[in-house]
Amino acid sequence: MTTPFPIEPGQSTSLCREVLEALESLLDNVMPETDADLIRAHIETCDPCTEAADAEVHVRELVRRACQEKAPEQLRIRIVSQVIVRSVR
């Protein structure tokens, strides 16, 4: 089972949990700026939350890159020729 991000002794676990739950909204740019500033401020001073935020940023980047493919040249040619054929009137 995946373990939670490590919480250091003395750290506010409920605050970290709230912050991590807010991470999705933060990274989706749907959080009001004042809230976003507070969340970022916590993350930047909290190593486990920094690690979690970095991991999430990194996963999104991984997914983005992995799903980018190049269309086959023949497909491009077929689609362009659809347009060209129709413009010859």
Partner 1 sequence: MATARVALFHGVSTLLLPRPAAAPVGWWAMSTDEGSAEDVRESETSVERDARFEADALPLLDQLYSAAMRLTRNPADAEDLVQEAYAKAYAAFGQFRPGTNLKAWLYRILTNTYINTYRKKQREPLKSDAGEVEDWEIARAASHTSTGLRSAEVEALERLGDSVVRDAMSELSDDFRLVVYLADVEGFAYKEIAEIMGTPIGTVMSRLHRGRAQLRARLADHARELGMTVPS
Q: What is the DSSP string of 28-56?
A: TT-S-HHHHHHHHHHHHH-HHHHHHHHHH
Distances (CA, A) of 75 to 70, 71, 79: 10, 7, 6
Q: Which two tokens stand for residue 48?
A: 């486990």
Q: Which is nearer to partner 1, 9 or 83 (CB)?
A: 83
Binder among 9, 10, 14, 87 for partner 1 (CB under 8 A): 87
Q: Check binding of 73 to partner 1 (CB under 8 A).
A: no
Which residues in this chain contact partner 1 in the complex, by CB under 8 A? 1-5, 17, 20-21, 23-24, 26-30, 33, 36, 40, 43-44, 47, 50-60, 62-72, 75-76, 78-80, 82-84, 86-87, 89
